[in-house]
Amino acid sequence: MTDYQTLLDDETRAFIARSDSFYPPDTATKTIAEQRAVYDRMCQAFDAPHPPGLTVQDAPMGGVPCRIYEPAKPGPATILYFHGGGFVVGGLESHDAICAELSALTGCRLISADYRLAPEHKHPAQFDDALAATRAVAARWPGRLLLAGDSAGGNLAAAVAQAARRHGPQIGGVVLVYPGLGGPPDTASMTAHAHAPMLSASDVAFYHDIRFGPGGHPKADPTAAPLQDTDFRGLPPTLIHVAEADPLASEGELYAQRLRAAGVPALSVTDKGLVHGHLRARHSVGRARTSFDAIAKGLTALAQGQIPWRGAL
């Protein structure tokens, strides 16, 4: 059994305790409305002011509600961001400060997509919305387009990149943060961190079931589970940040391995001593701040046509 008292530092344990005070570990047993309410309250508790100099407006992209963050002189790329929340919770407000700060740190226009949620909307509704928003953003702002997302949003970013490889638009790079990519149920991290704080293996199973419904788990469908693809060639450079104390960590590592085996520049970084959801801890946990800054630097490099761990594209 993993010793989280040793693995996690005091700041991270304090972050977990504060998160649990709003979003207790048994939240997945509550009604969907209750889950969304407590998730929104938790995210609000970790909110932060927007950095100065950003223009923010809401506008639909491809019929999908979106929020657009623009620095005074945006460039050289546009970032489309998909929020986490197990495909059940979250939206424009839950990740508002995160997106604003990423836009400011990268100097890039960033669009946050408010895709439809389960269980009201089963798969492939979330993927369909993500792909529609991607195509609309690419049409409105021609040039380098990056995809990014955390947790469930990381799943969508990877799935859209796979679909866009075949049908367009061209994607210049992908950044995934503790993504759930539909890996096998017996990975090393799923076993070692089955009872991890912030996200457990049973939580993963719950959100998986609710996205598809009883008996609706798709097979060989990379739009639902990017790791189920059979051909990873031609995908854009991909940077993945996984949290060490997270049942999903092995999925990010496995995805990077499959990309590299197909000749795609890919790197999986394990953020030591961190847990799922640590983007919200960037202002209270030193390790989370270091990870957040590295994520922003990775996006900045990809926006400039650089592979962060190699150099020029």
Residues forming the active site: 151, 246, 276
- Report the alpha-carbon distance of residue 33 to residue 210 in Å, rounded: 14
Please name the residues in contact with 177: beta carbons below 8 A apart, sequence gap of 6 or more: 84, 148, 149, 150, 151, 154, 240, 241, 279, 295
Query: Residue 302's closest CA among 143, 192, 194?
Result: 143
Can you spell out the DSSP letters for 89-102?
A: S--TTTTHHHHHHH
Helix H segments across 141-239? 152-167, 188-192, 201-212
What's the token pair of residue 16?
């977990």
| 149 strand-pairing partners | 82, 176
Helix (H, G, I), strand (E, B) or coil at 64: strand
